[in-house]
Amino acid sequence: MPAILLGITGSIAAYKAADVANELTKKGYTVHVIMTKSSTEFITPLTLQSLTKNLVHLDVMVEPNPQKINHIELAKQADLFVIAPASANIIGKLANGIADDLLSTTALALPEMPKLLAPAMNTVMYESLPVQENLTKLHRYGYEIIEPRESLLACGDFGKGALATNERIIENIIQKLP
């Protein structure tokens, strides 16, 4: 079965990534997870490790196997790369080639493969010119954007910015795999 590299960033929607990882694992996919430091404030790495049965990767300076460079190996082993939820921060980093954590460093090391982003943030943030320009740039770089939903957001605002449904994220992933 194909291997999926799932990135999780610091968003209240991070907890939903556990269900995505769980469903993909149940379908027989190998799921490797990279979490940003801020995502661990919303959901624990142990949760994702328990669901995927794989080590969760957190720090670019930690090399589990000293004979291999972790971010390069993670990139080489993946058949598909997805970030769900994708915060404005990671979108900006990827659009501008910034590699200052394990997730952004791995993203820059990816060979040709399907790459998906599922943004999740406040409506005003999502609709801001910098975020929209970064998403346009990432689309040109080969990323497919899984559009957020319009919903009541965690901040109390109503608008576009809620993470796409888990079903839609999983459907997009499966469609892109052989």
Would you call 155 a catalytic residue per the annotation?
yes
Q: Helices 16-26 and 45-52: crossing angle, nearest 10°?
A: 10
3-state helix, strand, coil in the chain (%, to 5): 45, 20, 35
Q: Tell me if 2 sits within 8 A of 178, measured CB to CB.
A: yes
Q: Is 53 exposed, middle or buried (0-12, 13-18, 19+ CB in 10 A)?
A: exposed
Cα 42 to Cα 114: distance, rounded to the nearest angstrom: 27
Among 20, 1, 14, residue whose Cα is nearest residue 170: 20
Candidate list 99, 155, 174, 177, residue with the active-site label: 155
Residue 34 gets which letter from DSSP?
A: E
Cα 9 to Cα 16: distance, rounded to the nearest angstrom: 11
Q: Write out the catalytic residue numbers.
A: 155
